[in-house]
Structure 1
Amino acid sequence: MRALPISPRNDRRAIGNRIRAARQASQMTIEQLSAATKLSKGFISRVERDQTSPSVSTLVQICDVLHIAVGDLFHEPDSYYVSSKEAPSINLGGENVDERLLSPRSERRIQVISTVVHAGEAGSGGDELYTVNSELEVLHVLAGTVRFNLNGAMWELTTGDSLTFSGREPHTWKVIDPSTETRLIWVLSPAPWSTGF
């Protein structure tokens, strides 16, 4: 059997933005990177705009100065798409609510949950205060108004408002005006559950 030649990829991997981000994270100017690598400012600028491809040795030189691995420039970032229409329904103990998990079930760093209380429903997190095994929790009100109880401290949050607090602090919430639809987004970090519900 005869070996077939491997065709090169037609798409060129854009690495300029990652080099620029690494340079800025190191708080270096193009001039400083130029001086450290002995490459011209114009060449570095063209590399950062993906207008030229550096040789492997030049790329190693730039990465050494920026203290990043060459492979990091080509690493595909993890990304997951969750359709709001197909997001799994979950039950966190709320009353008269439609709750959906918007982040992947396997994600351990963060969890995003959508809560919808349909018009005409008196939705709430329940009468009793509850806690969540999460260091940080953020509640953002997309639509409607809710009364939030954080261990006796009360807030009234309306469309566009957010509240950040410890999930381990006893809390609950309830809709103030049941005549309109209420939509909430909860962000929990780290994710208190990383498996199915």
Structure 2
Amino acid sequence: MGRAGARLREFRTQRRLSLTEVAARAEVTKGFLSLAERGMTNVSVPVLMRICDAVGIGIGDLFEYPTAPIVRSGAGAPLEMGGHDVREELLTPKSERHVQVMHTVMRPGGGSGGAYRLDATTIFVYVLKGALSITVDGQTTLLDTGDSMTFGATQLHDWHNPTDGEAEVLWTIAPPVGAEDFSAALRGS
């Protein structure tokens, strides 16, 4: 939450919102929000989305983007979208208006930390390595290496690595979350 926390604080102070006000709106404690803004705690995806909503921004407003259309291996923009024991990077530049591709590496048990929805149309996930347990609208599916799944972005979904080894996936979201016209994220449940 280092970069994302600092950006959250920047947006909150620009809007002249107090820690107490945002914490109450996001249904978190003031202390937790302070820790999140200072990058000193992990935040689940749904909680981060509630905080963004309370500040009046979309989760995509926290993203950093690659500056060029060619992204070399390991050179994507670090992505802090919440979750636990995950390392993510954004592979598509902000100028891309049709799709957004994210690369996620999860340690054993790592994942979203809860269910959420995105303000987009479609999510496609492809498992590059390991396995992914994904629950969409209450139905859980186990995807192994080479498996993929497509579902509606507004469907309530959460995901995690159910294995004892590292898992690696590619997410494709259409249209992009965080593009100027699509930056609002829906509330997590």
TM range (shorter): 0.5 to 0.7
Q: Aligned equivalents of 1:144 and 1:184: distance in 2?
A: 9
Identity fraction in percent: 31
Q: Of 108, 113, 116, which aligns to 2:105? A: 116
Check conservation: 1:82, 1:104, Cα contact below 8 A: no
* Structure with higher strand content: 2
Report SS of the residue matched to 2:92. Answer: coil
Q: Which has the larger radius of gyration?
A: 1
Superposed structure 1 runs of 4+ greater than 6 Å apart: none
User: Which residue is equivalent to 1:15?
Assistant: none
User: Which residue is equivalent to 2:138?
Assistant: 152
Unaligned stretches of 5+ residues in structure 1: 1-78
User: Which residue is equivalent to 1:11?
Assistant: none
The alpha carbon displacement at 1:158 in A equals 0.6
User: Which residue is equivalent to 1:82?
Assistant: 71
User: Which residue is equivalent to 2:177?
Assistant: 192
Q: Cα deviation per residue 1:3-55 (whole Å; 9 max; x = unaligned)?
A: xxxxxxxxxxxxxxxxxxxxxxxxxxxxxxxxxxxxxxxxxxxxxxxxxxxxx
Q: Of 101, 112, 115, which aligns to 1:125? A: 112
Check conservation: 1:89, 1:100, Cα contact below 8 A: yes
Equivalenced residues, count: 114
> How does 1:1-197 map onto structure 2 within 5 Å?
80-118=69-107, 121-126=108-113, 128-177=114-163, 179-194=164-179
The alpha carbon displacement at 1:167 in A equals 0.6
* Letter of the structure 1 residue corresponding to residue 179 of structure 2: S
Report SS of the residue matched to 2:110. Answer: coil
* Letter of the structure 1 residue corresponding to residue 99 of structure 2: I
The alpha carbon displacement at 1:122 in A equals 2.0
Q: Aligned equivalents of 2:161 and 2:88: distance in 1?
A: 15
The alpha carbon displacement at 1:146 in A equals 1.6
Q: Aligned equivalents of 2:106 and 2:111: distance in 1?
A: 8
Report SS of the residue matched to 1:123. Answer: strand
The alpha carbon displacement at 1:191 in A equals 0.5
Q: Cα deviation per residue 1:51-105 (whole Å; 9 max; x = unaligned)?
A: xxxxxxxxxxxxxxxxxxxxxxxxxxxx920123221111111211001001112
The alpha carbon displacement at 1:189 in A equals 0.6
Q: Aligned equivalents of 1:83 and 1:194: distance in 2?
A: 22
The alpha carbon displacement at 1:107 in A equals 1.2
Q: CA RMSD in A?
A: 1.8
Q: Which has the higher contact order (CA 8 A, sep 6+)?
A: 2
Give TM-score scaled by structure 2 length: 0.57
